Amino acid sequence: MDSSYQQEQLGDGRVRFTVTPASVPPASGAPFVLAALFVLIVLGTMNRNEGGLGLIVRLALSVFVAPRIHRWTNQWFAKGVDKVRSPGGEFVVSPTAIEAKGATITREALHRLVVRNGIPDVQEYGVVQTGSMQSAMAAGAQNDRLANRAKATTVSYVLCAEAGGRATVLGGGMTEVTANGLLTDVSRVLRLD
């Protein structure tokens, strides 16, 4: 699902903005590895004397539980990303003020409106040591972390109002295009352009 926002006219030049966040893209690597590991453990611990019925039960267990492990791992990843991307938001803008999260920021007190990414820009360099299975697995895990961060970054833009030396997040969990569109529409209501 892509991010969006709606505008609702409240009268007297006041407009309510409601942000619908984009969903977090599914993680790569770890969910599949954990599900495959579960299947390997379930099938790998089978005894020779369990027979066909034991195999059918273990296959059914694998088919039933492995997709859930995959889904639960993706949900855990999305929950962690949502902590920093501030998904959604609802606020009211008038030509004289912004009302958000119980606070009112007057137009005169407003320093600026800014779009930024909620996920910190951390440089993570990969070091590949060849020669062992452990170093190959560590490099793969690091590549997955970088890929997951890059995917989450695309849907983690927030619109902030800065006033009085602090930033108030108005809405988050957006694509860059949605966040810039919201910035433009809020600026028009405030008559900043």
Q: Return all residues near 21 (Cβ < 8 A) that are at least 6 apart.
A: 3, 85, 87, 88, 155, 172, 173, 174
CA pair distance 183, 158, nearest whole angstrom: 10
Task: List Cα–Cα distances, 124 to 5, 120, 134, 147, 171, in angstroms.
Answer: 33, 12, 19, 11, 28
Task: Give the pLDDT of residue 26.
Answer: 79
Mean pLDDT of 73-85: 77
Task: Give the pLDDT of residue 134.
Answer: 66
Residue given tokens 């137009």 in the structure block: 107
**Residue 86 · residue 152 · CB < 8 Å:** no
Mean pLDDT of 60-71: 88
Task: Give the pLDDT of residue 138.
Answer: 67
Environment class of 167 (CB within 10 Å of its CB; exposed 0-12, middle 13-18, buried 19+):
middle
Number of domains in the chain: 1
If residue 171 lies in a helix (H) or strand (E), which one and from where to where?
Answer: strand 166-174
- The confidence band for 118, taking pLDDT boundaries of 50, 70 and 90, is confident
pLDDT digits 0-9 by tens, 31-44: 777 888 888 888 88
Look up the domain containing 85 and give its range.
4-190
